[in-house]
Amino acid sequence: MSSNKGMRVFIGTILVLLSLFIAGAAYVDLGFWMKPSEERLSIIWERDLNNLKTLKRLPAVFQDIGKIEVSSPDARIAEWLDKVKIPIAKKKDGNHLLQIMVIQWIEGNKYGVVIQYDVLDMTQENNKVFELGRTFHVGYMW
């Protein structure tokens, strides 16, 4: 009888631990963190821009982007950018140039990117009319 009780306690403990693991995985969105870095960047970037639009933190010139230039001095980030869909729409007859610089960011065991937006007015000799910098945590280094 006692070995049967011990087995039930053991199985009960395993089930509780498994439940805690599943709940924890759901809490930290384990599926998100298992995606490739460039895919996580795409998701984070789009969420951030949607949030900025919702909060009305982007100026009207963001609706008048006619041309987008994206660059990075970092080879690894440049590879990511080949796979990332830039979540900003271009307007066919837009009068503004959006320059986006993406730079690698590392702090402790976290890594990510800094995205610098510069909006230039193409009708006024590329006069800068807006700039914004955003930092995104993309992953962990182990």
Q: Which two tokens stand for residue 73?
A: 């001095």
**4-52: per-residue pLDDT in tens?**
787 888 888 888 777 767 666 555 577 788 899 999 999 999 999 999 9
Rounded to whole angstroms, how far apart are CA atoms 58 and 44? 17
So where are the chain's domains?
Answer: 1-34, 36-140
pLDDT of 127 = 96
- Could you read off the pLDDT of 73-130 as tens digits, one per residue? 999 999 999 999 999 999 999 999 999 999 999 999 999 999 999 999 999 999 999 9
Residue with the larger pLDDT of the pair 2 and 105 = 105
Q: How far apart are CA 107 and CA 125, in angstroms?
A: 38
The H or E element that residue 119 is part of is strand 110-121
Q: Give the pairing type, strands 127-140 and 110-121.
A: antiparallel
